[in-house]
Amino acid sequence: MRSRLLANAPLRLWLGLGLLVLIVAVGMLLPWLAPGDPLHWYGVPRNLPASPAHLLGTTNLGQDIFWLLTWALQNSLMLGVVTGFFSTLIGVFAGLSAGYLGGAIDRVLSFFMDAFVCVPSLPVLILLAALFGGQLSLPVIGATLIVFNWPYPARQVRAVALSMRERQFVAVAWFSGESRVRILVRHIFPYIAGWSMANFINTVLVAIAAETSLAVIGLSSAQRATLGTMIYWALKYQALLAKRYLWVGAPVTAVVVLFVGLFLLSSGIAMRSAARRSGA
């Protein structure tokens, strides 16, 4: 069993990493090279097919699809990474406290973890969007997603911390006079670092997916390009009926590549840390 996991993990990891490097290069480096603001309407001729001057053609609104895509990717990636980072940070902290300290703290935290997991986040985001006058800015979406996504890493970390508490080396550390904080940081955290990484990447995926779904139905920020808003504008201007598939196809392909890459990477890391843990 272990050998197969180890044999599988690197392939997934490398594939995922490869796809992500591609996406990050397009989304983080290329936007700097864009000639002007690609969101600007009628900056270039409308409805051009793909050509060397406009790699993916132009939209009905006179935007260059390729440069628009790079900006959209950048915004989507930033939202995902910031949300993922804070969700994981809060989740690991809450999970460690609950699992290691136990008692009343554990019961209260566990209740919130279980309750948040059961509340479907999209309807709440939609409600918020309606109250903000039909559109949410990216920071508000990010903050709401953090509120709904910290329980996933927290639950997992709590489970690991619970099992760790009974391990001998933790008892040894405790009896040799190490403080609780030091035990948490030095002895328990290394075990959950791999899981946290996998969780972080998974939350990036979930956050981007949530923003994209809000945007596809027109509830995300109209002032910023994201993968979802690109799809929204394309659908709104009947790109499909006009058979202008590049306009929809470009963000859809980017979403697929990004999500498959993120999933391969996170499951690859999770598998490797599972193999490590059972070997340890």
Partner 1 sequence: MKLVGTIASRLLVWILVIVFGLTTIFFVPRFAPNDPVEAMLAKVASGGSYMTPSEVDALRASLTDAFGLHGSLLSQYWRFIRRVALTGDFGPSLAMYPTPVSSLISHALPWTFGLLMTSTLLAWLLGNLVGMLAGWRPDRTLSRVLEGVAIVIYPIPYYILALVLSILFSYVWHIFPLTTSVQGTPWTWAFVESVVWNSTLPAASIVVVVFGWWVISSKAQTTVLAEEEFVRYARLKGLSDSRILWRYILPNALLPQITFLALQIGLMFNGAIIMEILFGYPGLGQLIYTAILQGDYNLLMGTISLSVIAVATATLIVDLLYPLFDPRIRHG
**Which residues would be at the binding site for partner 1 (CB under 8 A)?**
1, 4, 12, 111, 114-115, 117-124, 126-134, 205, 209-210, 212-213, 216-217, 219, 231, 235, 240-241, 243, 245, 248, 252, 255-256, 259-260, 262-264, 267
Specify whether the backbone of 103 is left (phi greater than 0), alpha (psi in -120 to 50) or beta: left
Measured from the CB atom, the residue of 21 and 256 that comes closer to partner 1 is 256
For residues 222 and 212, what is the distance between their CA atoms, to the nearest angstrom?
Answer: 12
CB of 211 to partner 1, least distance (A): 11
**Rounded-to-integer distance, Cα 142 and Cα 124, Å:** 13
Minimal distance, residue 237 CB to partner 1, in Å: 15
**Cβ–Cβ < 8 Å for 168, 236:** no
Q: Which is nearer to partner 1, 111 or 169 (CB)?
A: 111
Nearer to partner 1, 100 or 195 (CB): 195
Q: Cα 126 to the chain's mean position, in Å? A: 19
Q: How far apart are CA 44 and CA 79, in angstroms?
A: 28
Least Cβ distance, residue 241 to partner 1 (angstroms): 7
CB atoms within 10 A of CB 101: 15
The distance of closest approach from Cβ of residue 168 to partner 1 in the complex, given in angstroms and rounded to an integer, is: 26
The least distance separating partner 1 from the CB of residue 261, rounded to whole angstroms, comes to: 9
Task: Tell me whether residue 122 or residue 171 sits nearer to partner 1 (CB atom).
Answer: 122
- Helix pair angle (189-216, 245-279), 10° resolution: 160
- How many CA atoms are closer than 13 Å to the CA of 34, on its beta-carbon side? 25
Nearest to partner 1 of 188, 219 (CB atom): 219
**What single letter denotes the amino acid at residue 127?**
L
